[in-house]
Amino acid sequence: EIVAQVARVGAEAGADIVKTLYTGDPQSFKRVVSTCPVPVVIAGGPKVENDGEVLKMAEGAMEAGAAGVTFGRNIFQHRDPARITRALHKVVFEGALASDAQRVLQHG
């Protein structure tokens, strides 16, 4: 609820796009997206060691209607930044499930 309110305030203050933390599940994040009049993207937050968690976070945000993701350290500090970027591309731009995108990390 608070994330939704803050995102809306950002839009009302004149933001063209709102970057916010992911609420943890698609259902609650859908409320953030649906109440914000401008596109919403999620921040990557702290470094996550589990690739599946990173991809699942992106999947949930996209399922909720997010415009995209803005991940920094979860890409730049990854052991293979190119592969995690390709996997995230599958989720964000191709609508792949996290489990399917994770194959990119295993097989290139």
What are the tokens at 35?
A: 């109440």
Per-residue confidence at 108, pLDDT binned at 50, 70, 90?
Answer: low
Instruction: Give pLDDT, residue 64.
Output: 98
Residue 104 has pLDDT above 70, yes or no: yes
What residue segments make up the domains of the chain, in order of their start?
Answer: 2-107
64-84: pLDDT as tens digits: 999 999 999 999 999 999 999
Is residue 1 predicted with pLDDT exceeding 90? no
The CATH number of 2-107, from 3.60.10.10, 3.20.20.70, 3.30.70.1400, 3.40.50.1220, is: 3.20.20.70
- Render pLDDT for 12-62 as a digit per residue (tens, 0 to 9): 999 999 999 999 999 999 999 999 999 999 999 999 999 999 999 999 999
Over range 5-10, report the average pLDDT: 96
Instruction: List Cα–Cα distances, 69 to 10, 57, 64, 85, 107, in angstroms.
Output: 17, 9, 12, 11, 23
Burial of 102 (0-12, 13-18, 19+ CB in 10 A): buried
> According to the model, what pLDDT value does residue 107 have?
84
